[in-house]
């Protein structure tokens, strides 16, 4: 028997070759194959005897007595070797049928000698001479032949029995072998199933591994691409490193050069520091000197203003407007000063002719000449810039801590509002004192900031109408309401006065002040009078509170700048018929004249050093109380009309201004801390 190949090795080989599994060849005999050959051989052996046994019934009976005898085939054996016959599982029916068929078709013939067990009967020679047939009358011979044939059949039967016994033994052995082979087959089938399960698991693992291999191959391709990119980047970085190394060498050379230059510069810096220290000491010394000079300038400036008078009066004559009659020659004269025509005029002469006066002869009396002297007189041709240039130094005193108050006084239509606020249209040439003064203060404050001074400005604008204070900067629902505004002290023990419910607006540039002036111009109370289409029927007070500080020296100063446009100073006409509108104008005129009279009384009381000064007799003087006393500087513009028809009112204004000009107030003191 050939050595059996292990199924595991066969499965492993099939997995390696990727071929399907091949079943191991079965060692069991194929059913019917051996008996088929035995029957064929038996037919060949019994073929010569068929004719002799066709008519005999004995053979039939003999054949029927052994229905299950299997067909026997003997194979000649070689010396020392014996081939075991293969026995099919189901041989009984097929073998008995074959023997019966052979015996039925067999003819009686000569007796066949018995053979030894295990040897095959020699087939008769087909080509030999057939035995002669006995005649019918030779019964004894036929009997002898039958006996011989019977004997031969008995011998053959005996031989067949022996062979049957041998075959039975072989069958039992084959069945035992088949049982063993079946058990082995079941074992091998279980092992095969296990191996197949393992193979399927291996196939699944192989599929997973194949997918994993594909994934790894894909990742490997990606990694290889990334490696190539990194290699390229590495090459670029290496090139960049070489460039940086070159630049580093260059920078090191430059650093060495710079260090050499630095060492030289350090020596130079040391010398410069010494020079800077010397310059700083010199600068500090000069700063002290500059501060001393600034203080000296302020002192001299104040002294100069005091020499001019703490109460000064300027007279300004407005030009003749288009449509007005030209005054007669010599009506207004401006005599030259002591220095000749080059000196600014300080005197004014007004000629007045009175038709009611006359001589005894009936000739009209000559005109009366009225001469007035003021600190400065501005003829009709004087511009706004010329007027402001004269008061610029006074305005600057407010930055030095001196309260300053500037009035515009005169009859209606004499140019008071034009002098203070300027003309309409925003023409720079006709700007009034208020915008020019604010611009000048901002400019000087900017210059003083270089010396360590910082200034802040807060603006307010109110009017006093019929002894009622109104806020001209009010907006919205508070616009035009004056009953809510009252003059109060800023705090207990404080001398500073403030207006309750009035707007105090911090300003830092001219544009902000211009916006406030525009708003106040819209809110101010005006009315039509006999002298002017739009007459100011109230006193307007623009107040700019100035606060300065020198942080380095701990100095502080503060003072208000008051620019006041007084209402028209007309006298009442006793013969005027009073209607509803005239009664309102009458009350306004009475309030205006009363407050102007109080202003004159206050100035006179200050000049006479009286113990009681009637500030509270008028809201105007009460509001300006801190700007009218001995520590303040005051200037009054008396504005007059050039027309002859207004000569009476002009004379009244000039006489009032002359009285004010004759007053002398004590030395002003700066409000410093």
Residues 520 and 501: their CA atoms lie apart, in Å, by: 16
Is 42 in contact with 98 (CB distance < 8 Å)? yes
For residues 181, 184, 190, 191, the Cα torsion angle rounded to the nearest 10 degrees is: -130
Answer whether 464's CB lies under 8 Å from 541's CB. Answer: yes
Q: Is 408 exposed, middle or buried (0-12, 13-18, 19+ CB in 10 A)?
A: buried
Q: Does 6 or 78 have the greater pLDDT score?
A: 6
pLDDT, one tens digit per residue, over 22-62 is 444 444 444 444 444 444 444 454 444 444 444 444 433 33
129 versus 281: the higher-pLDDT residue is: 281
pTM reported for the whole predicted model: 0.56
- Name residue 506's beta-bridge partners: 458
pLDDT mean over 368-384: 90
Q: Please check whether residue 270 is in contact with residue 593, taking contact to mean a CB–CB distance below 8 angstroms.
A: no
CB atoms within 10 A of CB 227: 12
Pair of tokens at residue 179: 């049982």
When mean pLDDT is compared over 96-100, 517-521, 585-589, the highest value belongs to: 517-521
- On the question of pLDDT at 165 being above 90, the answer is yes
Phi and psi based region of residue 485 (left: phi greater than 0; alpha: psi -120 to 50; beta: remaining): beta
Specify the 3-state DSSP secondary structure of 637: strand
Supply the pLDDT for residue 119: 42
Share of the chain above pLDDT 70, in %: 69
For 257, phi then psi, to 5°, come to -65, -40
Give SS3 for 471: strand
More confident residue, 511 or 116: 511
Please state the three-class secondary structure of 580-633 as a single string: HHHHHHHHHHHHHHHHHHHHHHHHHHHHCCCCCCCHHHCHHHHHCHHHCCCCCE
Write b or e for each residue in 472-492: b if 16 or more Cβ atoms lie within 10 A of its Cβ, otherwise e: bbbeeebeeebeebebeeeee
pLDDT score recorded for residue 105: 44
Burial class (CB in 10 A: 0-12, 13-18, 19+), 429: exposed
Q: How far apart are CA 29 and CA 11, in angstroms?
A: 25
- Among residues 504, 617, 633, the alpha carbon closest in space to that of 562 is found at 633
Q: What angle do CA 296, 302, 304 make, to 5 degrees?
A: 100
Judged against a pLDDT cut of 80, whether residue 354 lies above it is answered with: no
Mean pLDDT of the chain: 76
What pLDDT, on a 0 to 100 scale, did the predictor assign at position 639?
94
Say yes or no to pLDDT of 258 above 50.
yes
Mean pLDDT is lowest, of 220-224, 287-291, 329-333, for 287-291
Burial 2-11 (b: 16+ CB within 10 A, else e): eeeeebeebb
CA 614, CA 605: separation in Å to the nearest integer?
A: 8
Dmax (CA) for the chain in angstroms is: 241
Chain segment 607-662, per-residue pLDDT in tens: 888 889 899 999 999 999 888 876 788 899 999 999 988 888 899 999 999 888 88
More confident residue, 286 or 197: 197
pLDDT at 406: 94
Asked whether the beta carbons of 22 and 69 are under 8 A apart, the reply is no
Kindly report each contact of residues 231-234 with a partner whose C-beta sits within 8 Å and lies 24 or more positions away, as own/partner.
none
Q: Does the pLDDT value for residue 459 go beyond 80? A: yes
Per-residue pLDDT tens for 394-417?
A: 898 888 888 999 999 999 889 999
Give the chain's radius of gyration (CA, Å). 77
- Specify the DSSP element, H or E, that contains 409: strand 404-410
Residue 429 DSSP label: G
Mapping DSSP onto H, E and C, the string for 115-168 reads CCCCCCCCCCCCCCCCCCCCCCCCHHHHHHHHHHHHHHHHHHHHHHHHHHHHHH
Would you state the pLDDT for residue 96? 40
Q: For residue 309, what pLDDT band results from cuts at 50, 70 and 90?
A: low
Average pLDDT, integer, range 577-582: 58
The token pair that represents 144 in the structure block: 């002898």
- Which structure tokens are listed for 118? 């295990």
Percent of residues in the chain assigned helix, strand, coil, to nearest 5: 50, 15, 35
């Amino acid at each position: 028997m050939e050595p059996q190949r292990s199924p595991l090795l066969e499965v492993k080989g099939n997995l390696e070759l990727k071929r399907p599994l091949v079943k191991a060849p079965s060692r069991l005999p194929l059913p019917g194959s051996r008996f088929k050959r035995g029957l064929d051989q038996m037919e060949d052996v019994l073929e010569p005897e068929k004719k002799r046994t066709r008519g005999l019934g004995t053979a039939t009976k003999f054949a029927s007595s052994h229905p299950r005898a299997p067909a026997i085939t003997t194979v000649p054996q070689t010396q020392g070797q014996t081939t075991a016959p293969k026995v099919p599982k189901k041989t009984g029916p097929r073998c008995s049928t074959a023997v019966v068929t052979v015996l039925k078709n067999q003819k009686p013939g000569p007796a066949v000698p018995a053979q030894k067990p295990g040897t095959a009967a020699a087939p008769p020679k087909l080509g030999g001479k057939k035995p002669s047939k006995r005649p019918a009358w030779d019964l004894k011979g036929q009997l002898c032949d039958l006996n011989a044939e019977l004997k031969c059949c008995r011998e053959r039967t005996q031989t067949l029995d022996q062979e049957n016994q041998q075959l039975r033994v072989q069958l039992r052995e084959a069945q035992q072998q088949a049982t063993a082979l079946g058990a082995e087959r079941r074992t091998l089938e279980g092992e095969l199933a296990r191996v197949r399960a393992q193979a399927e698991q291996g196939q699944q693992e192989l599929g997973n591994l194949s997918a994993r291999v594909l994934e790894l191959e894909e990742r490997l391709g990606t990694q290889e691409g990334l490696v190539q990119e990194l290699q390229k980047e590495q090459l670029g970085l290496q090139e960049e490193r070489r460039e940086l190394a070159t630049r580093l060498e260059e920078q090191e050379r430059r650093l060495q050069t710079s260090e050499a230059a630095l060492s030289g510069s350090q020596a130079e810096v040391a010398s410069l520091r010494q020079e800077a220290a010397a310059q700083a000491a010199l600068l500090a010394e000069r700063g002290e000197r500059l501060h001393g000079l600034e203080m000296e300038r302020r002192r001299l400036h104040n002294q100069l203003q005091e020499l001019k008078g703490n109460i000064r009066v300027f007279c300004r004559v407005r030009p003749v407007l288009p449509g007005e009659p030209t005054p007669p020659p010599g009506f207004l004269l401006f005599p030259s000063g002591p220095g000749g025509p080059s000196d600014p005029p300080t005197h004014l002469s007004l000629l007045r002719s009175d038709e009611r006066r006359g001589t005894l002869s009936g000739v009209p009396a000559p005109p009366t000449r009225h001469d007035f002297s003021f600190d400065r007189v501005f003829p009709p041709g004087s511009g706004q810039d010329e007027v402001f240039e004269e008061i610029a130094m006074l305005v600057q005193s407010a930055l030095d801590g001196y309260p300053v108050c500037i009035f515009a006084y005169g009859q209606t239509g004499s140019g008071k509002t034009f002098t203070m606020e300027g003309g309409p249209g925003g023409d720079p040439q006709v700007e009034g004192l208020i915008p020019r003064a604010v611009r000048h203060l901002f400019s000087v404050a900017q210059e003083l900031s270089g010396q360590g001074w910082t200034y802040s400005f807060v603006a307010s604008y109110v009017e006093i109408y019929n002894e009622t204070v109104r806020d001209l900067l009010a907006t919205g629902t508070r616009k035009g309401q004056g009953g809510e505004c009252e003059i109060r002290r800023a705090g207990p023990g404080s001398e500073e006065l403030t207006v309750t419910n009035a707007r105090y607006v911090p300003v830092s540039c001219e544009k902000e002040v211009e916006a406030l002036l525009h708003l106040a111009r819209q809110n101010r109370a005006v009315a039509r009078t006999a002298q002017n289409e739009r007459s100011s029927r109230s006193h307007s007070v623009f107040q700019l509170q100035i606060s300065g500080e020198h942080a380095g020296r701990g100095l502080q100063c503060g003072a208000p700048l008051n620019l006041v446009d007084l209402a028209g100073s007309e006298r009442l006409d006793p013969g005027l018929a009073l209607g509803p509108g005239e009664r309102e104008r009458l009350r306004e005129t009475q309030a205006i004249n009363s407050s102007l009279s109080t202003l004159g009384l206050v100035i006179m009381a200050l000049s006479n050093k009286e113990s009681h000064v009637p500030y509270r007799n008028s809201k105007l003087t009460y509001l300006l109380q801190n700007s009218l006393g001995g520590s303040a500087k005051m200037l009054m513009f008396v504005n007059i009309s050039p027309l002859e028809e207004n000569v009476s009112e002009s004379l009244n204004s000039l006489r009032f201004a002359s009285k004010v000009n004759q007053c002398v107030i004590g030395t002003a003191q700066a409000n410093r801390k």
